[in-house]
Every structure is written in C-alpha cells, then in structure tokens.
Amino acid sequence: MSNSNAIPTVDLSPFFTTGDDEGKKKAKDLIHQACSTYGFFQVVNHGVPLELMNRAMQVSKTFFELPDEEKLKSSPASGAPLPAGYNKQHEDSGDRNEYLLMFPPASNFNVLPSSPPEFKKEAEELFSSFVKTGQLLEAIVAECLGLPSDFLKKFSDDRNCDFMVALRYFLATDDDSNGLSEHEDGNIITLVLQDEVGGLEVRKNGEWIPVTPTQGTLVVNLGDVVQVLSNDKYKSATHRVITTKGKNRYSYAFFYNLDGEKWVEPLPEFTTLIGELPKYRRFLFKDYQALRMRNKTHPPSRPEDVIHITHYSIPT
C-alpha cells in the first residue's frame, strides 16, 4: 500500500490542552483533507482510555463465545426504534456477523446481557466515553467546514438517539468473505474500535483501502447527515468489512446520531450563500432511518433497490 493511500491518523491531544493552536491547525488540516475526499480518518489521544477499550473488547468476546441459547436471552424487545439487544444477521442478508445493539445507558430500550457480569458496566462506560469523543469531533468537523464550533451541537443535541453496536464477524470460507456489505452510515459521525484482526475497508478513488488496525486508535467516518448538510463538501464514507479465515473479527461501532424529528437539508452556507444549488431535497431524519432499517430487515433482491442517501438527490 503506498503512503498516499494510507488512512491518515490524527493526534487529538492539542484539543485537550490550551494554547496548542499549531497542533490544532495541523489536526484540522488533516481532517479537512480526509473529509473532503473520502470521509475516513483515524484518531489517537482521543480521550477513550486504552484500558477501557481493552476491557470492553474482552467482555464482548466472552459474550459472543456463549452458546446461542444464552445470547438469545438478550433478544430485542418490540417497540424500540432499532433492535436493541442481540441480533444475528439473516442468512439471506449476505452479511456474516452477529451484533448487540445498545442505546445510551439510561435507555429503557436496552436489553443487555447479564453474562458475563461485567458486560453492562464496561459497555456503558465505553458508550459514555464515546459520546465525549463524538462531541469533540462534532465541534472539530464543524470548524473544519468553516462553521462555528457549536453549529452541529445547536443543530441537534439530543444524545438519546446515539447507539452502539458490539459486533462479531464470522469466519471466512473459501467462497464467502462478506462480513458487512459496502455501505455508508446514515448518522453524523461514526467511531469504530476494531481488534487486531482487520477487515475494515474504505473506498477511495474507486479502490478498496484496508484500515489497518493499530492498538489504541479509533477509526472515524462521516455519515450521510454531514454529506447532506455540507451539500457534498464532506463525504459520507463508503466502507465494508471482509472476514478472515480462522479468526473472528470483533469491533464496536458507535453512531453519534441525530434526533429523528430533525429535518435535514443542505445548509444555506453551502448553497444560496455561495451561489450553489442544493444537491438534496429535505427529509425527516426518522423517515430515512426507517428506510435504512427496511433495507436490513427486507433486503431488496436487486442491489440497485437498496435505499441510500441518493434517494433524496436532486437531479442536476
């Protein structure tokens, strides 16, 4: 892999001290470059303690290694906006993984495993730590876009909509290595903690670039909401996960998300105020989230019928 294709790693430590304007500028330049082209970067010194990441990864492994009947005790209850609890992908979905989805620790929707006993504590602590990093990144991304640092926070600050998924990917076989099909995330910003197995790939200039795991590093990608608000100035990253023979991949994905009642559309700063036409029509975020859920629960037989953000594109 040539250096020009490496996913940049950004040191966030300047944002945890005062006075390091040079360091902040360097970080923002890197983030701006990555977000303008393909929407993916990695961060170090992001505020999530290494010890916590390791403990959370360990409890996830212990949970997923339990027999199915034990895991199924955490099956989702009905009525939640997303299936909070343990889920195995349908055979026909093509995605070879199982996952446990959770909302913020205080949510009544959560169905967290009682085994291993430490699962709840570690996962909740990881969640809360991810929220803080998400808030920091939200402010940085706003500034990189040339907006006030509290712009996205003012746009939507309902942290009850955030969710986190602990994932286990199955082993690759001779003819199947599809862990998670190529997609873009629908939210604002996603954080991924991956183990040492690898398999996450991002599409850049038509090529799939592996995001090589490094201890202590978090992967960051932008979601569709930022792409729409910025009228395509920043990209929602296209990514996928490839499975590995003989090794399960474990990861946590944290979705810094939007209040479902919010209307999303290109901001005037990226349209009327600079003389550009909007590339998307406005939509209610919960409608988009429901369409995306339907993609998963009732996968269309033809790939071109899967709903992406282009569903709201205005033809030029």
Structure tokens at 64: 């997923």
Judged by CB under 6 A, the residue of 142, 253, 264, 309 near ligand AKG is: 253
Under the criterion CB under 6 A, does residue 126 sit at the interface with ligand AKG?
no
Out of ligand AKG, Fe ion, none, what residue 84 binds, judged by CB under 5 to 8 A for its kind, is none
Packed helices 119-144 and 50-64: angle between N→C axes, nearest 10 degrees: 130
Which residues are 251's β-sheet partners? 167, 194
If the CB atoms of residues 188 and 241 are measured against ligand AKG, the closer one turns out to be 241
Q: Are strands 9-11 and 40-44 parallel, antiparallel or unpaired?
A: parallel
* Phi and psi, residue 297, nearest 5°: -80, -30
If the CB atoms of residues 145 and 242 are measured against ligand AKG, the closer one turns out to be 242
- Evaluated on CA atoms 145, 149, 152, 154, the torsion sign reads negative
With beta carbons less than 8 A apart as the criterion, state whether 133 and 191 touch.
yes
* Phi and psi, residue 99, nearest 5°: -150, 160
If the CB atoms of residues 31 and 82 are measured against ligand AKG, the closer one turns out to be 82
d(CA 144, CA 148) in angstroms, rounded, equals: 9
If the CB atoms of residues 230 and 251 are measured against ligand AKG, the closer one turns out to be 251
What minimum distance in Å lies between the beta carbon of 197 and ligand AKG? Answer: 10
d(CA 208, CA 200) in angstroms, rounded, equals: 10
What minimum distance in Å lies between the beta carbon of 249 and ligand AKG? Answer: 7
Q: Residues binding ligand AKG: what is the number (CB under 6 A)?
A: 11
Structure tokens at 118: 């430490």
If the CB atoms of residues 185 and 195 are measured against Fe ion, the closer one turns out to be 185
CB atoms within 10 A of CB 108: 9
What minimum distance in Å lies between the beta carbon of 173 and ligand AKG? Answer: 19
Side chain identity at residue 156, one-letter code: S
Whether omega before 113 lies within 30 degrees of 0, making that bond cis, reads no
If the CB atoms of residues 113 and 179 are measured against Fe ion, the closer one turns out to be 179
Residues within window 27-56 making contact with Fe ion, judged by CB under 5 A: none
If the CB atoms of residues 43 and 241 are measured against ligand AKG, the closer one turns out to be 241
d(CA 150, CA 140) in angstroms, rounded, equals: 9
What minimum distance in Å lies between the beta carbon of 208 and ligand AKG? Answer: 14
Report the residue closest to Fe ion, judged by CB. Answer: 185
Q: Which stretch binds Fe ion (CB under 5 A): 32-40, 58-66, 111-119, 177-185?
A: 177-185
Out of ligand AKG, Fe ion, none, what residue 178 binds, judged by CB under 5 to 8 A for its kind, is none
Buried b vs exposed e over 229-259: b needs ≥16 C-beta within 10 Å?
Answer: bbbbbbbbbbbbbbbbeeebbbbbbbbbbbe
Under the criterion CB under 6 A, does residue 180 sit at the interface with ligand AKG?
yes
Residues within window 182-241 making contact with ligand AKG, judged by CB under 6 A: 185, 192, 194, 200, 239, 241
If the CB atoms of residues 211 and 267 are measured against ligand AKG, the closer one turns out to be 211
d(CA 134, CA 128) in angstroms, rounded, equals: 10
Out of ligand AKG, Fe ion, none, what residue 192 binds, judged by CB under 5 to 8 A for its kind, is ligand AKG
Report the residue closest to ligand AKG, judged by CB. Answer: 251
d(CA 176, CA 185) in angstroms, rounded, equals: 23
> Any idea which residue has 């343990």 for tokens?
86
Under the criterion CB under 5 A, does residue 185 sit at the interface with Fe ion?
yes
- Residues at the contact surface with Fe ion, assessed by CB under 5 A: 185
- Residues at the contact surface with ligand AKG, assessed by CB under 6 A: 165, 167, 180, 185, 192, 194, 200, 239, 241, 251, 253
